Amino acid sequence: MQKHLWNTKLTDTSTSAQEELGIVRWEYNSSNNEWEAYKYVQLDSSAANAAANGTVLTYKNGYGYVVTDDISASKQNFVAGVAIGTIAKGSYG
């Protein structure tokens, strides 16, 4: 596996992109002895709310890096994953 130096901690958020949008980050979880994947995304500025820890997110666009919590507004309606922290509308994490 190629090593990558991340600019952010896993749960960091910001108003400007600090990582490449859509990049997948692999982290080893020693408690369950498995690798876990995390994707760096932007929460759509028209999302219903800020995404809180545990919020189900769907893809807003076909590019795979803009997400929303508003399932009715999702054009792709494909589940992107679950937020692992709080992300403000329009922010990155």
Q: What are the boundaries of each domain within the chain?
A: 1-93
pLDDT confidence of residue 76: 53
pTM, two decimals, is 0.86
Q: Is 68 helix (H, G, I), strand (E, B) or coil?
A: strand
Neighbouring CB atoms inside 10 A of 17's CB total: 16
pLDDT in tens, 70-86: 777 545 568 889 999 99
pLDDT confidence of residue 1: 57
* CA distance readout (Å), 86 to 30, 46, 51, 75, 76: 24, 16, 5, 23, 23
pLDDT in tens, 16-70: 999 999 999 999 999 999 999 999 999 998 877 888 999 999 888 777 899 988 7
Contact by Cβ (8 Å): 83, 51: yes
